[in-house]
Amino acid sequence: MKVINVAGVRPNFMKVAPLMEAYKKSNQIEPVLVHTGQHYDESMSGLFFHELDIPEPDINLEVGSASHAVQTAEIMKAFEPVVLEHKPDVVLVVGDVNSTIACGLVAVKLGIKLAHVEAGLRSFDRSMPEEINRILTDSISDLLLCTEQSGVVNLISEGVPEEDIFLVGNIMIDSLLKYIDKAKQSNILDRLNLNHSDFAILTLHRPANVDDPITFSRILDALEVIQRHIPIIFPIHPRTRKNLFASYLDRRVKRLPHLRLTHPLGYLDFLKLMSSARFVMTDSGGIQEETTVLRIPCLTLRENTEQPVTVEIGSNRIVGTETEKIIEACKQVTNGHSRNFQIPPLWDGHAAERIVKILLDRL
C-alpha cells in the first residue's frame, strides 16, 4: 500500500514522525513524505526533521507564505502532479492547517482515499481559519482518526458514518513520550539562566490574538503585571514577531524586564522548558495537549478550545484575553493546581500503530 503523507507546518512534524516509524515497522506500507513548505525557516521546519529523526521529505512543494487563498491554491497546484505521478492508495493529512485542506481536496478530486488524523475537533468558532479547515477536511475524508471522544461525537452529529470514525488516541503524544527522556538532557534552563519551576512560558500566534493590536495590547497589560512576580519566557512565532514590530508594541515589550523573548525553540528544548515551567500560557492547540501529559498547568488565552477533554479533566483552563482574567488565572494557578487527573484514554504513545493497523485493515 502506498501512502502519501502531508506535513506543512511546525506542529505537523511531530505528528508525521511516529507515523513514518510505524510504517517502517509494519513493512507493508510504502510511505511518500510531502512537505508543502508552508513553514520553511530552519527553526520552524528543518530542525524538527533532524530532532525527530524524520526522513528527508521525498518532495518539498516550497510554497512558502502568502494569503490564505494564494497559499491554499499554490499548495493544490503543486500537489496535484505529485499525486498523479505517485498514484497512492491513500493520502494522509494531519491537523487543521491550509496544507491539510489543500492536499485533502486534491486527493479526493483525483478519486484517492483520504485519511485525516485529528479529525472531529471543533472549537465551534468559525472565525478561526483552522476551524474552517477542520470542517472541510472532515467532510471529504474517508477515514476519520480522532484523538479524543469529543471528535467522535462531533463527527457523528455532523452525519459522518460511524464505521468511518476511529478513536486512535493522540499521535502528538506518541512523539512526546518517545522524546521526553532525551529532552530532559537539554541544557536550555542553563542557557536561559532559569531555575526549575521558577518561570512561566508564553506562546502566541493565533491571528485573533496577534493580528489585532488591541487584543495584543490587552494581553501585554496582563503580562506587565505577571512578569513582576515570575519571569515569562516567550519563544516568539514569526507571525507574532512581525506584528509586534508592525504595531510598535515591541517598544512596550522592551520595557518589561522579565518578559523574555527568544527565537522559536526546537522540539527538545521546548519540551524541557515546558516540563520545567510553573505554568504555561498559550493560544496553541497542541500545547494544551502536551501540558496535559506533562501535568503542567495550562492557561489558554482564547475564548474556546477544540480540545475540550483537557478542560474536562482539569489540566487546562480557558482564560480568554481580558487583562484581569489572565492576571487572576495566573494568581490562582501559582497558589495551587491539582495534577491528580486522568490522562485521556489512548494518549499512550501507540496512536501511530493503531492508525497503520486501520489503514491496512480498511483500505
Supply the residues annotated as catalytic.
Answer: 205
- For 250, residues 6+ apart whose C-beta sits below 8 A from its C-beta are 244
Query: Cβ of residue 20: shortest distance to ligand UD1, in angstroms?
Result: 20
Read off the C-alpha cell for 73.
491554491
Stretch that binds ligand UD1, among 41-49, 51-59, 110-118, 175-183 (CB under 6 A): 41-49
- 4, β-bridge pairs: 32, 91
Nearer to ligand UD1, 178 or 205 (CB): 205
Count of residues near ligand UD1 by CB under 6 A: 20
- Nearest CA-CA partner of 341 in 319, 301, 312: 312
Helix axes 323-334, 213-226, angle to 10 degrees: 30
Nearer to ligand UD1, 129 or 320 (CB): 129
- 298, β-bridge pairs: 280, 316
Q: What x/- string results for residues 93 through 132 when contact with ligand UD1 is judged by CB under 6 A?
A: ---xxx------------------------------xx--
Query: Cβ of residue 241: shortest distance to ligand UD1, in angstroms?
Result: 8
Query: Cβ of residue 47: shortest distance to ligand UD1, in angstroms?
Result: 11
Residue list 260-299, contact with ligand UD1 (CB under 6 A)? none
- Nearest CA-CA partner of 296 in 244, 258, 255, 343: 343
Q: What is the DSSP string of 83-132?
A: HHHH--SEEEEETTSHHHHHHHHHHHHTT-EEEEETTT---S-TTSHHHH
46 binds ligand UD1 (CB under 6 A): no
Question: 3-class DSSP state for residue 259?
Answer: strand
- Nearest CA-CA partner of 134 in 91, 167, 89, 104: 104
Q: What x/- string results for residues 226 through 265 when contact with ligand UD1 is judged by CB under 6 A?
A: -----------xxx--x-----------------------
- Per the listing, cell 505554568 goes with 279
Query: Cβ of residue 38: shortest distance to ligand UD1, in angstroms?
Result: 5
Read off the C-alpha cell for 15.
505528528
> Which of 39, 113, 116, 302 forms a contact with ligand UD1 (CB under 6 A)?
39
> Which of 17, 21, 31, 40 forms a contact with ligand UD1 (CB under 6 A)?
40
86 binds ligand UD1 (CB under 6 A): no
41 binds ligand UD1 (CB under 6 A): yes
CA 220-224-229 angle, 5° bins: 135
Nearer to ligand UD1, 8 or 349 (CB): 8
Please report, as ranges, the residues that interact with ligand UD1 according to CB under 6 A: 9-11, 38-41, 44-45, 65, 96-98, 129-130, 205, 237-239, 242
